[in-house]
Amino acid sequence: MTTQKIVIPGRPVPKGRPRLGIRGRGGPRLGIRGRKAYVYTPPQTVEYERLVGWTAKSLGCKPIEGPVHVTMNIFSRGKLDVDNAAKSILDGLNGIAYWDDSQVIELLIRKHKVKSKADERVEIEIREAS
């Protein structure tokens, strides 16, 4: 049975809500012709997901094929929305610790308060389901 342990340093970043942007030229004379709307993930979320992925890769994580159990211990100061933090972490591990987060059949999240910014981190354990 495969088990992978990962520690992500720093305060976890909750998954930001998708944003709407408009691209292209336009203006009062041109109306909205040539402008396109698009949806994007906020840059802070993208950066944190990359940090999660690169940290896992640097520790030698390889994608597990089948169903997995994931345990997260989140160490943070102040308020933190754990379900959104877990989403950004799970998305950051896609293609690295497992092929897709739809493989997660069990997710256990524990939140721990810490006093120091230096103690903020996420400890993750990913186990292959038997």
Range 3-16+42-128 classified under CATH 3.40.50.720: no
Q: For 4-33, what is each residue's pLDDT tens digit?
A: 999 999 999 998 776 677 777 655 555 555
Q: Quickly tell me which residue has 């038997």 as its tokens.
A: 130
Q: Residue 35 phi/psi, 5° resolution?
A: -95, 145
Query: Which sequence spans correspond to the domains of the chain?
Result: 3-16+42-128
| CA neighbor of 101 nearest in space, from 126, 122, 118, 82 | 126
| CA neighbor of 75 nearest in space, from 7, 3, 5, 4 | 7
Ranges 26-35, 39-48, 118-127: which has the least confidence: 26-35
